[in-house]
Amino acid sequence: MTQATHGLGGLRYDPAKRNRAPEWNVLGALVLIVLVFELLNRMNGTSFLFNMRDTGGLFNQARLDIIVLQVAITGIIALGVTQVIILGGIDLSSGSVVGATAMIVMSFAQTELVNGNPNPKAIFGAWAMDLPVIVPIAVGLACGLAAGLINGLLVAYTKIPPFIATLGMMVSARGVAKWWSNGQPVSFPTETYGSLANGDILGTLTFGLVSWPGQNPAVVFAVLALLFQIAMIRTLYGKRCYAIGSNEAAARMSGINVDRHKVLVYAIAGMLAAVAAILLTSKNLTAQAGMGVMYELDAIAMAVIGGVSLAGGRGSIIGTVLGAMIFSTIISGFTSIRLDAYYQEMVKGAIIVGAVVLDQWRQRKRMRG
């Protein structure tokens, strides 16, 4: 059975015994967690995953929808955060960037008349009312890009630690969010803007073949995850991220323009936070200065649970997607067994730490052979 398929120098190499990709462990953990919740639910005569009523359908569709929906928006942020962490950095600003972007975007997405009366929450004059939906989207992406560029330029060219640079952005962007309308919410977007998150993009794109109304954030999350998974594995972009996160000095010596690449990665992370802000405001039909608080930590937690090493150089987008699913499954699971929200937070913290401890332990075990 054992054969040297591509061992060099006559060294035997058994492909069947090679190290399993760490993502499989994360997937295993996800399955295990689902099983545990299923078991806990069964003890109360209910089910976590399956439909126990006579309403048709094998699965508990409502729960699955919630699991996916509540993970999607933070998950989009986590995609950017993952790339930054693999690069050897950290981004603490994403939650605040969501807040600031949400306020600004919404101001360009408002409708002039609400039930025949002038919009009570109008920020700008008539010129900014009922704009085509592309305008708020473009403004939003520009906000995220600007925040990301500032993060990236600070990290790359002032050489201050990413923790500090993005902490500054975290505080400042939250300030922008509050200053924008003196803390007042911005509401009443156009119908088209509201349909960005609440519509059925899958149905539109497939001409009704597959329909998933109200789950646009999940569709966007899936598409972006796929795109960035490919970019990280197959393109120069990803190769450079891993190289810089793994050994920045070596990357520099090899001729990689490390500083420029850092700016690019932080800029992409900022734009992904903006995408999250657009979907969040569209879903809620309002923007508030407090939007996205703690999202950055949830996003980092998703990446860490998914096996992304905070030391840089290790992890993957697919891992983060699985980490996000675990994150969301645990929250839904706790709700399903009626665990109090306070306990949920306490346990969430323990799970984050536990995931890192497990990962370290696994690394050491592999070193020992």
Partner 1 sequence: MARVILETRGLTKHYGGVHALEDADFILHEGEHVAVVGDNGAGKSTFVRQVTAVEQRSAGEIFFDGQQVAFSGPLEAREAGIETVFQTLALADDLDVPSNLFLGRELFRWRFGPFSWLDRKTMRDRTMEALKTTAVKIPNVDNPIRNMSGGQRQCVSIARTAAFASKLVIMDEPTAALGVQETAQVENIIRGLKERGIPMILISHNLRQVFDLVDRIVVFRRGRIVASLRKEETDGNDIVSYITGVKGGEVNA
Closest to 222 in 3D by CA, of 65, 62, 72:
72
Instruction: Check if the beta carbon of residue 103 is closer than 8 Å to that of residue 287.
Output: yes
Whose Cβ is closer to partner 1: residue 156's or residue 186's? 156
What's the rounded Cα separation, in Å, for the pair 143 and 192?
21
Indicate the residue among 7 and 57 with the shorter CB distance to partner 1: 7
- In b/e form, how buried is each residue of 41-60, taking b as 16+ CB within 10 angstroms? beeeeebbbeeeeeeeeeeb
Neighbours of 142 (CB within 10 A): 15
Tokens of 149: 């560029």
Confirm if 111 and 186 have CB atoms less than 8 A apart: no
The residue among 362 and 366 lying less far from partner 1, judged by its C-beta, is 366
Provide the minimum distance between the beta carbon of 75 and partner 1 in the complex, in angstroms, as a whole number: 22
Residue with tokens 């906000």: 143
For residues 225 and 317, is the Cβ–Cβ distance under 8 A? yes
Q: Which is nearer to partner 1, 73 or 308 (CB)?
A: 308
Cα 41 from Cα 336, distance rounded (Å): 7
The least distance separating partner 1 from the CB of residue 161, rounded to whole angstroms, comes to 21
CB of residue 29 to partner 1, shortest distance in Å: 22
Instruction: For partner 1, give the closer residue by CB, 6 or 338.
Output: 6
Backbone phi, psi, residue 286, to 5°: -155, 160
Shortest Cβ distance from residue 326 to partner 1 (Å)?
23
Shortest Å, Cβ 230 to partner 1:
9
The residue type of 112 is E
CB nearer partner 1, residue 13 or residue 59: 13
Q: Which is nearer to partner 1, 103 or 308 (CB)?
A: 308
Beta carbons of 140 and 262 less than 8 angstroms apart: no
Q: Alpha-carbon distance 263 to 153, whole Å?
A: 6
What's the length of the chain?
369
Closer by beta carbon to partner 1, 11 or else 209: 11
- Give the whole-angstrom CA distance, residue 266 versus residue 91: 8
User: What are 117's strand-pairing partners?
Assistant: 114
Interacting residue ranges for partner 1, rule: CB under 8 A: 6-13, 15, 18-19, 231, 234-237, 239-240, 242-243, 245-247, 249-251, 253-256, 261, 264, 313-314, 366-367
Beta carbon of residue 244, minimum distance to partner 1 (angstroms, whole number): 8
Query: How far apart are CB 260 and partner 1 at their closest, in Å?
Result: 9
Closest CB 77 distance from partner 1, rounded Å = 21
